[in-house]
Amino acid sequence: MRIKALPTQLVNQIAAGEVVERPASVVKELLENCIDAGADQVEIDIEQGGMRLIKIRDNGHGVDKEDLALALSRHATSKIANLKDLEHVSSMGFRGEALPSISSVSRLTLVSRAEGADCAWLVSADGTEKNFDPQPDSHPQGTTVMVRDLFYNTPARRKFLKTEKTEFSHIEKLVKKMALGHFAIGFKLTHNQREVLSFKPADDLLQQQKRVAGVCGSAFLENCLQIDFEASGLHLGGWVGLPTFSRSQQDLQFFYVNGRLVRDKLVAHAVKQAYQDVLYHGRHPVFVLYLSLEPHLVDVNAHPTKLEVRFREGRLAHDFIFKALHRSLAEQRPGQSPSSVSQVVEFAPEVSESEATVEKPFIATPPLASAKQSTLPMTVAEEISAYSALYPKTEVNEQAPSPAAEIVEQAANEYPPLGFALAHIHSIYILAETKNGAVLVDAHAAHERITYERMKEQYHSGKVMMQPLLLPLKIVVSENEAELVEQEQVFFEQLGFELTRSGPETVILRATPALLAREDMDSLIKDLLADLLANGMTSRVQEKSNEILATMACHSAVRAKRKLTINEMNALLRDMEKTERIGQCNHGRPTWVELSHQDLDNFFMRGR
């Protein structure tokens, strides 16, 4: 057959196949036009899940009568004019495909009144881009687009649609996502003449938080950190959930780039890396984040539906997002209210975390930073002297079961965030009295995180301190494991082990990292060698150094059933207050929980 040009309507229907998957796709395209039109109020009326009617009205600047025909034609737009504009796109839409594509698979009517015009004008379209006959209308300033009988002329496409309830649920989710990305715009959504959503313009932080709570639930705001980071022309703001407030699904993850909701692999990887050692396995973090950067630094023309973007400086964007989130989670300590934490941090992505300048919010707690941290804290008992110097009134007679008398003497505002230890329940959990109630701490999990964070700091700074053993330890291993020790002597020294091969299936341990307790080095070395053999001594092992350090920290942490003294428990509490990411152990499990006065009263129905 000879080559021939396709009919205009068929061309538009082909284009519709890329951008109009279901009614929600139509709503997305039309809402983006409303945003670009400068509207501050948008009304969305849906009937039968969008299959019968999609009607969207805005109060934007409208379309001139002379431009109505162009608005319904392919590749006609006011948003770009040349290649330079395409490389600096700041609008939500810019291709000029949406309206003609939608009109080719539906019965579309467009009514618009431009600012200062005497009246509005109405046109209908069928995707042929012909026979436009504008008619006057009494519509106020702005634009209304009515899309009726979606896919009426493409029945094969209509068969793929789901039930009315399912299709509307997609529309509702979309409107919520749009509302999160554009606080300055009010949104009203109705379905079959019943109001479903109503968001007023959110001009201040309180109203924005109210909108976030309306979309993500009030529990989200109660368990999140508000962040504000800026560096190298990039700005990241919004809310990130605490690791303990995770989900089994990725349903509360919203990431916006210059106001556009995206699902980007680079962003997803940066977020995953930031949460990697504080999130329980199989769980997903929650966040509402906004990344702003110069339009020329991001290509929004990488996907037909514009759900994916391409960063010009991918590594820069990745490192910035990772370090912003990583630092936010690290800075959350006991005594802070998650919903009120706001950090403004300025750093260059190339700078290490230890060099970053962090501006912390003021917290009315004792000056924990003045306590000197032990140089070689092999056990929690080594922190007792530092703790005693800071809190001299809490010196406890080990014969006494509780420091209650000393606590009573303290003024209320002298309580440390995690309070003072009262008991070691079942030799597992520390019970402490706080200003606001009581705290329960998993001693093993908390000590594991403390040790892990110290080991990471020493390892990545190249200053792992070694503690010689009084007597060298002979360990029987497999031949492959013995060969690994012989070949990778430098690597083990970097971890803090003086480990040498002494026979076909034996190794000698002469020194260990000073941070580790020396209770069961035989098992630790065997587990470490097994992990290294399983992964192979490649760059991947170096990249997974944190996992190796986490294994070492787990082995050295305070074991359950080991009874701690009051001083040891208090020392551990003070260490927790100084440690980053202390809310979770290395496996993502919580390390402590708080029971407020109200919680305790509710248990016994006091005040009812």
- 10 Å CB burial of residue 295 (0-12, 13-18, 19+) is middle
pLDDT given at position 359: 33
Domains and CATH numbers, the chain: 8-192 (3.30.565.10), 205-359 (3.30.230.10), 368-446+561-603 (3.30.1540.20), 466-513+518-556 (3.30.1370.100)
The 3-state DSSP class for residue 39 equals coil
pLDDT given at position 535: 67
pLDDT given at position 276: 83
Six-digit token string for 66: 């002379």
**Residue 193 CB partners (closer than 8 Å, separation 6+):** none
pLDDT given at position 383: 47
CB atoms within 10 A of CB 367: 7
CA nearest neighbour of 291 among 267, 265, 323, 326: 267
**Single-letter residue type at 151:** F
Contact 87, 73 (CB under 8 A): no
CA nearest neighbour of 447 among 384, 380, 519, 512: 380
Contact 326, 225 (CB under 8 A): no
pLDDT given at position 365: 26
pLDDT given at position 560: 58
pLDDT given at position 170: 95
Judged by phi (left if over 0) then psi (alpha if -120 to 50, else beta), residue 565 lies in beta
- 10 Å CB burial of residue 132 (0-12, 13-18, 19+) is middle
Report d(CA 196, CA 217) in Å as an integer: 16
Rg, the chain, Cα only: 31
- The helix (run of H) or strand (run of E) holding residue 271 is helix 265-274
pLDDT tens track for 289-333: 999 999 888 887 766 566 778 888 889 999 999 999 988 888 777
Instruction: Report the Cα–Cα distance between both ends of the chain, in Å, rounded.
Output: 86
pLDDT given at position 527: 82
DSSP 438-495: EEEEEHHHHHHHHHHHHHHHHHHHT---EEEEEEEEEEE--HHHHHHHHHTHHHHHHH
pLDDT given at position 361: 30
Contact 335, 363 (CB under 8 A): yes
Kindly list the distances between the CA atom of residue 597 and the CA atoms of 133, 334, 608, in Å, as whole numbers in the listed order: 71, 17, 14
Report d(CA 388, CA 394) in Å as an integer: 7
CB atoms within 10 A of CB 438: 17
On whether the pTM is more than 0.75, the answer is: no
Report d(CA 316, CA 324) in Å as an integer: 12
Q: Which residues of the chain have pLDDT under 50?
A: 339-412, 539-541
Contact 291, 239 (CB under 8 A): no
pLDDT given at position 95: 64
CA nearest neighbour of 113 among 68, 54, 53: 68
